[in-house]
A = this chain, B = another copy of it.
């Protein structure tokens, strides 16, 4: 936002306007050229409220107030004015409770999946995750058991009453995945696969949109806008860690992005502490940090015997550990109270 001042605006008035902008949470920089002075005020998370603009414009020393909008509309909190709740099977994400989704990285046999699902449900999970079609950096790595795995996932979900989320990677396979899943995951590597985004936007099942490893929050929300624009606003965002120089964890969980995105969009946001951590030992603290930062839920890699998991065993927690995470996450959420209360200071 640019607040352009008339020539000769007195110093006290400039300071008064500057204070108003700071109070409104803006980062303010003063620029001046041969008499002409302007305040450049940036407030990252949303456009300035109308009453602030009116108030600034009302000053006799202000010539004009100009601001640019955000590149997304349908997913904007400011424009919609209220938070979205996304139906996921018989449950809801974004209703104030902590939505928990658990399951193995990759779906293998029926037995261990059923065991995981039972334990997850007992710990309060509403959803079951598991890979059928797996993105793998190398073509020689395991790519998932495909449609068979999808069917196993569906069967276990039906037996336990959990809802199912799994990834679609190819626009031509969205239909198959949508048929068997309750929510379609768009993986981090496909966050800007625009044709895939459009395809999942055209079908009615909700979409779990993971943030790409090096996407800004704005780019992430623009990706969601691609889906929403096709008619599907049942989108759940998922922070899963960004790529930085630090190697002690697989990725760097960016809890700030959760706090920032909450101010920009009405969509619910969950976190994936497993892919962020990369190591089983750090899954719990990252899960709790995400909840404390405002996440509406968690998606966690869980296996009854992590050391036997087909893939990503290093970052998979046991069903017992998951219970500990689930309980603590709920206690942290209760300690903080309703988000609006907590963060709109």
Chain B residue nearest in CB terms to A37: B66
Asked if A176 is at the interface (CB within 8 A of a chain B CB), the reply is: no
Total interface residues in chain A, CB < 8 Å? 114
Task: Select the stretch in A98-106, A119-127, A150-158, A245-253 that faces chain B.
Answer: A245-253
Asked if A185 is at the interface (CB within 8 A of a chain B CB), the reply is: no
A22 to B308, CA, bound (A): 9
Contact yes or no, B345 A284, CB < 8 A: yes
Instruction: Return the CB mask of A30-53 against B: 1 if under 8 Å, else 0.
Output: 011100111010011100000001
Task: Select the stretch in A85-93, A109-117, A222-230 that faces chain B.
Answer: A222-230
Chain B residue nearest in CB terms to A25: B281
Contact yes or no, B170 A195, CB < 8 A: yes
Asked if A332 is at the interface (CB within 8 A of a chain B CB), the reply is: yes
Asked if A292 is at the interface (CB within 8 A of a chain B CB), the reply is: yes
Contact yes or no, B328 A335, CB < 8 A: yes
A137 to B192, CA, bound (A): 8
Asked if A2 is at the interface (CB within 8 A of a chain B CB), the reply is: yes
A26 to B36, CA, bound (A): 21
Contact yes or no, B291 A139, CB < 8 A: no
A307 to B66, CA, bound (A): 22
| A216 in contact with B307 given A44-B279, A285-B294 (CB within 8 Å) | no
Instruction: Return the CB mask of A292-320 against B: 1 if under 8 Å, else 0.
Output: 11100000000000111000011001000
